[in-house]
Structure formats: C-alpha cells, structure tokens
Amino acid sequence: MTSPWYKSISSVLGLRGLLFFILGVVALVTILAPLTSNSYEASSALVPNVYSNYRRIKEQAAVDYLDLRSLSLGTTLKEFPLCGKERESYVPCYNGDELDRHCEFERDEERCVVRPPKDYKIPLRWPLGRDIIWSGNVKITKDQLLSSGTVTTRLMLLEENQITFHSEDGLISDGVKDYARQIAEMIGLGSDTEFAQAGIRTVLDIGCGFGSFGAHLVSLKMMPICIAEFEATGSQVQLALERGLPAMIGNFFSKQLPYPALSFDMVHCAHCGTTWDIKADAMLLLEVDRVLKPGGYFVLTSPTNKAQGNLPDTKKTSISTRVNELSKKICWSLTGQQDETFLWQKTVDSSCYSFRSEASIPLCKEGDSVPYYHPLVPCISGTTSKRWIPIQNRSDVSLTTSAELEIHGKSALKNYWSLLTPLIFSDHPKRPGDEDPLPPFNMIRNVLDMNARFGNLNSALLDQGKSAWVMNVVPVNARNTLPIILDRGFAGVLHDWCEPFPTYPRTYDMLHANELLTLLSSERCSLMDLFLEIDRILRPEGWVVISDKLGVIEMARALATRVRWEARVIDLQDGSDQRLLVCQKPFLKK
C-alpha cells in the first residue's frame, strides 16, 4: 500500500520535488540515529525505540520511493502477455530430438506467461490424485498410453477424461507390489516393508515409466526420484509429477547427472530404454556407480534373451550378461536373479579397488565439487570420499553440522509456520488478503525449495506431519550443501537459476525461495525471466513464498503483478528487515 501522506504533498512539490524530499528525510534520519544512539548511557531505554522508528521510516521511504519511481515514469508496470497455444507444454533448453540440455542459446523468445491447456483441471487431492489424473493435464495420446508393454503402462486405464492407475488393486499378477517383494527377497528381506532395515531410503529410478514403482515406494515412506529424458509427448516425467511423485528431466547419455558422488541407496532400471552399448556401457555404468552409495544396489529388469551391441550376431550378448562382465571391474557382485530381474550390490570396502585382478578402469582424481552437467568420466568416483559409509552403517553417521541444522531447522522456521500454515497448509487455505478461510482452493503435494540450504523446510514439513515431498535445490553459486541434503534421505539436485529448471509446465504446487533473489543479485540472471520461469513451473492456484529483505521483496511484488499473481507482503515481526511475499497463481481459463 502507498502511504497517504505523499499524495497531498505531491500536489505541492510535484513528483520530482517529493522524491528529493523523501531522500532528504532518509538522509536526515540516517545522521540523527547514530547521534541519538551515542547517548546510550543517559537514556538506554530510548535506543530500541529510536532504532525501531528509524527502521520503519527507512522501510516506508523505500516503499514510497518505488511507488514514486513508477509514477514518475508516467506508467505502471504492464502485465506480461499470454503465450500462444504452442507454448502450453513448453520446456526450455530442449529442442526437437536432442536429448541433452542446451540452455546457452535461450532468451530469444518473447517474454510471456504460459497458459494451461483448454481442458486443464486442478489435480485431485492426495492420495486420490496419486492414482487418478485428468488426461487433459498431460500431453499424451491414447495410442502412446496403450502401446507400451511395460509393467507400469499395463497398470493404467484411460477412462473418459481421466487416467487411472491400478498399481495397488491386486488384480494384476505382475503388479508393482509383487515386483517390489521380488526385489526385497533378492536382497534377503522378508518383505518390501523391510527396505529401511537394509539401509535403503533413496532410490534413483531411471526411465520410471509413469511412476507406479515410485508411487509404491512413496507408500513405504521411501524417497524415489524418477529421471527420464525429455519427451515432447507421452512424457514419463510429466505423468509422474502430475501424480504428485518426485521426478525431473534427466539422462546421462553424455553428461553426468547433477548429483554428487555417493548419493543414492539404490538405482533402479526396469525396461528403462538405456542402451548399454559395447563402447559406451562402461561410461554409463560408471555413472550409476558414481551416484550409488557403498553397499547400495543396482536393479536391472531386462529381457534375458535380448541381444545387445553392434557386433555380429554370433558375438552379441544379453544386456544382463554385459553388465555382469563390467560389474566385476568396478567391485560389484551379482547377489540375486529372478526371472528378468538382476540385482548387483556395490562393495562396502573401498580397498577392493586396490586388489582388482583387472584394473583397466582407473580411479578418479577427486575434488569436493558437485558435477553440473559435466561430461561423463571413464573412471571410478567416490572411493576416497569422507562420505564413503555403507548404507547398512548409516546409524553410525554423526553430522558435523548438527548444531547448525538445529538452529536453522527449528528456530528460524518457527515463525514461518505460524504465518504460513493458516494461509497455505490448512484444509481450507486463505487467498492472499482474505480475512476468512475460503473453500479449499489448494492442496500442497510437492514443493520446489529453490534455495534449500540444509533441507530444513523439508524437515519442518515432515515434523508438521505434512504429506508433501520437497525437491531441495542447491544453487550452483551457493554453499554446496547437497551432500548433506541427500544424506538426510531427502530429494535434492544442483541447479543454476540463471537457467530454466528441467521440468514440464505446471508440475509443482508451491515454490519457496529464501534469500534467493539476494543471492542472484550479483549474477547474470534476469529476475523477470526468473519470475516467468517460476510461473511456468507452478500449477494454477499454486503458491509462491519468497523471503528476503524489504527492498528486494518490494521489487518482487512488482514483478508478481506482471505475471498476474495475487500477492501479499507479511512482516515476520522478529525485529529483522526480512519480509515474506506470499503469492497465489490464478487459474487463467480460456
């Protein structure tokens, strides 16, 4: 809101004169505040009030300055135009049939707000929305839905304007429950409910189909992350995210995944389409080994009689045979096989690499950096890392940052929840600016934390008993805390916010950015492009929560109006200059 006092003064002084008047007041208060504080011994009780008044005047002056600045230009900031139909499923950095990201040539496009498709509907609430989605929300044809013969697609039915997933009804003999139980038995467990006892919490699911295996793992309180290549239609990632399941676009055909070494307890590939080519399979398998924790498992489900490679038929071998030959060179052991499913376990003993009979694959010379789409490397990673701890011994791990995690996890977030819970996380959330709760416009299934630090928003949601999962993003120019996030059993990824995020439009219910805008202020990023990217990622009626300094928040509020969000600034009332900007994206119907 604009202060009423400058409206009357502006008629006398004019906009330019009023602008100099406000700046003069700020300068005067800046001079007087230190002089007043020097009399601390004489009037110590007055100092807090003087500082508080000074801070409020400075903040209001900044707000009014921004209002006057826009008025002096003679125009208000215009809303971005709406994109055409061709941008409804637009994913930047991916062009045509190319599998790798190419973000360096972006920004020639017109700045516009991506609209939802004509038949788009707000997703159903969880857990119902995990098994039933609106077919108009995803770009997939009936033929694509029914053509595949994989386990996950056989568990789907197209019913009028809905896609129904029947992974838990027990009607299908090769269902996901039976498949997960089969894997558990190969590990030596009595049931898939015992995965946690074997140290398995996080699973990287390569080429995840449409997420039925991941949905089952979520029901077991595990954290799967689906990765699959970009697909213009029939996207595995888009359908998994529409179901409210963790997923992102990614492949490792030529570049490393944006995860540090030793990140996952299990890597899973069921008919995932990965070509373990004779020349390239060592590189692909080495990337699986890089992200796999000591004692972790690689699950491969593939036809045992399918030939692989470019050699003459007499010399071709099955995929599983080829992987097994390579596994011996990287200290993996084949621990189980049932039907078409094979299970390898990575060694728990790093000294194994020194005693290999065939040492043709060297060890990497390693640093502490997290790869950000670096080229694949022909060497074995992570063997000298301080994080070389077998998944079975995780209880022995003591985080050196526990005190820091405690401070950020509880004290700093306590005020957050007292403000956000009635706005967003209740059964009947309020829209920004409303005094009374309205009908349930929203539900939060997933959150993209754009500057996650230690993953404490994720932790706070769990402590609050919320079912939402969080994609914890660590910016490339921030402190590298991604290993800590992953070691806590959370989903996380490294990302450069000067580039678009590897996901489809309308795939997250909430985006959270704590001091991200300040972090990016010295970068090459355009905040206008960032807000358009946030809007692309956010589904209609989803939420954006930005925490930052007052001046930054006011700038963010101006940008929020340009993308048509309903916005409200909230004072944290903790004595700091931090403010919350809580926004809700409207449903732009055609």
Q: Which residue has the higher pLDDT, 107 or 565?
A: 565
Q: Which amino acid is at 277?
A: D
Q: Which amino acid is at 74?
A: G
**Structure tokens that stand for 31 in this block:** 């001079």
Q: What is the pLDDT of residues 13-52, one digit of tens each?
A: 444 454 455 555 545 544 444 444 444 343 434 344 444 4
Q: Report if residue 487 sits inside a domain.
A: yes
Q: Quick one: pLDDT at residue 56?
A: 45
Q: Quick one: pLDDT at residue 220?
A: 92
> Are 263 and 385 spatial neighbours (Cβ–Cβ below 8 Å)?
no
Q: How many CA atoms lie within 13 A of 425 on its CB side?
A: 17
Question: Cα 485–489–493 angle (5° rounding)?
Answer: 45
Q: What is the pLDDT of residues 248-292, one digit of tens each?
A: 999 877 889 999 999 999 999 988 777 665 555 678 889 999 999
> Are 278 and 169 spatial neighbours (Cβ–Cβ below 8 Å)?
no
Q: What is the pLDDT of residues 175-196, one digit of tens each?
A: 888 999 999 999 999 999 999 9
> Are 289 and 252 spatial neighbours (Cβ–Cβ below 8 Å)?
no
With a pLDDT cut of 90, the percent of the chain lying above it is 38
Q: Is 382 left (phi over 0), alpha (psi -120 to 50) or beta?
A: left
Q: What is the CATH number of the domain that holds 483?
A: 3.40.50.150
Type and span of the H or E element at 259? none
Q: Report if residue 242 sits inside a domain.
A: no
Question: φ and ψ at 502, to 5 degrees?
Answer: -75, 75
Say yes or no to pLDDT of 313 above 50: no
Q: Report if residue 229 sits inside a domain.
A: no
**Structure tokens that stand for 340 in this block:** 């078409």
- Mean of the pLDDT values across residues 502-506? 95
Q: Report if residue 504 sits inside a domain.
A: yes
Q: Report if residue 358 sits inside a domain.
A: no
Say yes or no to pLDDT of 398 above 90: no
Q: Report if residue 448 sits inside a domain.
A: yes
Cα–Cα distance list, 468 to 167, 244, 359, 369, 457 (Å): 20, 9, 45, 30, 11
- Look over the chain and give the mean of its residue pLDDT values, rounded to a whole number: 77
User: Residues, the chain, total?
Assistant: 590
DSSP letter (8 states) at residue 475: E
Cα–Cα distance list, 499 to 89, 105, 529 (Å): 17, 11, 9
Q: What is the pLDDT of residues 232-244, one digit of tens each?
A: 887 889 999 999 8
- Name 547's bridge partners: 514, 580
Tokens 């676009």 map to which residue? Answer: 249
Cα–Cα distance list, 180 to 195, 251, 272 (Å): 10, 24, 16
Q: How confident is the model at residue 432 (pLDDT cuts 50, 70, 90)?
A: low
Q: What is the pLDDT of residues 354-379, one digit of tens each?
A: 887 665 788 888 765 667 888 888 88
**Structure tokens that stand for 253 in this block:** 């055909």
Q: Which residue has the higher pLDDT, 398 or 381?
A: 381
- Mean of the pLDDT values across residues 62-76? 45
Best CA proximity match to 301, nearest among 157, 216, 202, 174: 174
DSSP letter (8 states) at residue 421: I
Residues 6+ apart with CB under 8 A from 231: 237, 238
Q: By residue range, what is the domain housing residue 531?
A: 402-427+441-585
Number of domains present in the structure of the chain: 1
Say yes or no to pLDDT of 138 above 60: yes
Say yes or no to pLDDT of 155 above 70: no
Q: Quick one: pLDDT at residue 135?
A: 87
Q: Which residue has the higher pLDDT, 585 or 160?
A: 585
Q: Report if residue 243 sits inside a domain.
A: no
Residues 6+ apart with CB under 8 A from 387: 261, 262, 483, 487
Q: What is the pLDDT of residues 402-422, one digit of tens each?
A: 545 554 445 556 666 666 666
Q: Report if residue 202 sits inside a domain.
A: no
279: number of Cβ within 10 Å: 8
User: How do strand 292-301 and strand 341-346 relate by DSSP bridges?
Assistant: antiparallel
